Structure 1
Amino acid sequence: MTPRHHLDPATVVSHAAGALSPEMSAIVATHLAGCVECRRAVARADGIGGALLGQQQPQATPRHSLLRAAMLERLEAAAPLPPAHAPPDAPIDPDRLPTPLQPYFGTSYRALKWRWMGPGMHFIRTVGPTGGTMLMLRIAPGKRMPVHGHQGSELTQILRGAYDDDLGHFAAGDVADLDAETEHQPVTSAGSSCICVSALDAPLRFPGWLARTLQPAFGI
């Protein structure tokens, strides 16, 4: 399984700099476990960041902002690293949730306590240590989610199944790295339910009146 949708370079740099919230970091770590390309990007950002830290001089602009901007600039200009080989596959327990998600949702898919959201749609919501929302969704095949946008950032990792939206086809292993400019309507693929997990740093934005009316009940 080779992901086709990856972390945004700004997310890579923020992760390498330790600037992401624990909630966002849990999604990033889940994606990195299965994505060689993004692991290479983080390693490159780590190397650039270390070099820049050694060169950094005191200035009036906040140090972290300067470092982040410089890392982004150098990351975009850097030559690709040599191809990296994925680590040997370890035995996989299909019932076990990814390790970074376990503090929020437990260890087992079978033990998840789903709440009803609508026909064929279920969710689990929890709040992370910095107040960000962690949201896991299980959507039956062929279901159309409400059109929605974002008041902040959303980072979504697809765990099982797949969906399509204006941004493309997202299957297990892919990550959707979305910002406040994105509005979309995911439609789950045929075959099996789509299970995905998201970190949100602000509530979603629904243009439809019904979704807006129900939104407080779901806490998203």
Structure 2
Amino acid sequence: MTPRHHLNEATLVSFAAGALSPEMTAVAATHLEACRDCRDRLAHAERIGGLLLGQQQAAELDAAKRGRLRREMLDRLDESTQSRHDGTIQALSPDVSPGDPDGLPQPLRAYFGPTWSALRWRWVAPGVHMIRAAHTSGDTLLLLKIAPGKSMPVHSHQGTELTQILQGAYDDALGHFSPGDAADLDNETEHQPITAPGAPCICVAAMDAPLRFPGWLARKLQPLVGL
């Protein structure tokens, strides 16, 4: 798996600083598990953050205090790869072994459970199923399963949407998105995903505001779907 679409710089910096919501963090961490390029960029962002913090405080700290601060910062960076946002990224569930094809990506298990086979999909529309995470901090986090060849309604975003493709693929004005790819979208993006032939497209998405639909029918149905 070699992702072609990645997290943007603002998302990586916010992730490094612990400034993303837990829901956005879960999706970003799912991408980072699959993308070495973004892991390298994250490490660079964390190094820059550490240098900036050191420069800011250097004038006020003597050599001993700077050394202690550096050690504490390195310890925190080591810990950041294991746990963020109060356990959003958790250890492997005891009933799921590493590499098990039935295992959900690790960062999503706190919200959706440990395995694909245990998921209970809710019918939303013909060919479209969804699972909404019940316990969130306020942002929306959901899994979507969309049948092949389906055209989703044209929409834009009132805020930020971060989507990670888990299975299948879709195409829109931004390109072809397949497993491992992230769609890191802001409120200036309008698109219409069309799922590719073959397997259903399954993705996880976090949103900090409802979608915006120009079509009247989609707007009428929006309260029922909850997007």
Aligned to 1:118: 125
Task: State the match for 2:221 in structure 1.
Answer: 214
Cα RMSD for the two superposed structures:
1.3
Q: In the TM superposition, what is the alpha-carbon distance from 1:91 to its structure 2 partner?
A: 5.3
Task: Compute the TM-score of the two structures, normalised by the length of structure 2.
Answer: 0.80
Aligned residue number for residue 72 of structure 1: none
> Where does the alignment leave 5 or more consecutive residues of structure 2 unmatched?
58-96
Give the gaps of 5 or more residues in structure 1: 58-89
In the other structure, the counterpart of 1:100 is: 107
SS at match of 1:129: coil
Report matched runs for 1:85-96 at 5 Å: 92-96=99-103
Task: Tell me what 1:54 maps to.
Answer: 54
Q: Which residue is equivalent to 1:71?
A: none
Secondary structure of 2:34's partner?
coil
For 2:4 and 2:135, how far apart are their aligned partners in 1?
28
Q: Counterparts of 1:141-152 in structure 2 under 5 Å?
A: 141-152=148-159
Greater mean deviation of Cα atoms: 108-117 or 21-30: 108-117
Is residue 180 from structure 1 mapped to residue 187 from structure 2 by the alignment? yes
Q: CA deviation at 1:207?
A: 0.8
Report the CA distance shift for 1:29/1:130 in structure 2 as closer, same or farther (over 3 A): same
Describe the SS at the equivalent of 1:191. Answer: coil
SS of the residue aligned with 2:159? coil
CA distance in 2, matches of 1:109, 1:126: 15
Shift of 1:168: 0.2
Q: What is the deviation of 1:126?
A: 2.1
One-letter amino acid matched to 1:39:
R
| Cross-structure match for 2:137 | 130
Q: Distance in 2 between matches of 1:30 and 1:212?
A: 30
- The question of 1:6 aligning with 2:13 is answered no
**Which of the numbers 192, 195, 205 marks the counterpart of 2:202?**
195
Contact 1:145 1:186 in 2 (8 A): yes
2: CA distance between counterparts of 1:146 and 1:135? 17
State the 1:195 CA deviation.
Answer: 0.2
**1:169-207 deviations in Å (ceiling 9; x for gaps):** 000000000000011000000111000000000011111
Displacement of 1:125 in angstroms is 1.2
Do the aligned residues in 2 keep the contact of 1:22 with 1:128 (CA within 8 Å)?
Answer: no
Tell me by how many angstroms 1:129 deviates. 3.3
Question: Which structure has the larger Rg?
Answer: 2
1:157 alignment partner, one of 152, 164, 176: 164
* Percent of pairs with identical residues: 67
Deviations 1:79-138 (A, max 9, x none): xxxxxxxxxxx9521211111101111111111111111111111112553211001110
Q: Which amino acid aligns with 1:19?
A: A
Query: In the alignment, what sits opposite 2:39?
Result: 39
* TM-score with structure 1 setting the length: 0.83
Paired letter, 1:100: P
**Contact 1:128/1:134 (CA < 8 Å) preserved in 2?**
no
Alignment-mate amino acid for residue 219 of structure 1? G
C-alpha separation in 2, matches of 1:165 and 1:178: 13
CA distance in 2, matches of 1:49, 1:177: 22
Moved more, 171-180 or 114-123: 114-123
**2:48 aligned partner, one-letter code:** I
Q: Which residue of 2 aligns with 1:205?
A: 212
Q: Number of aligned pairs?
A: 188
How far apart are the structure 1 equivalents of 2:131 and 2:213?
A: 19
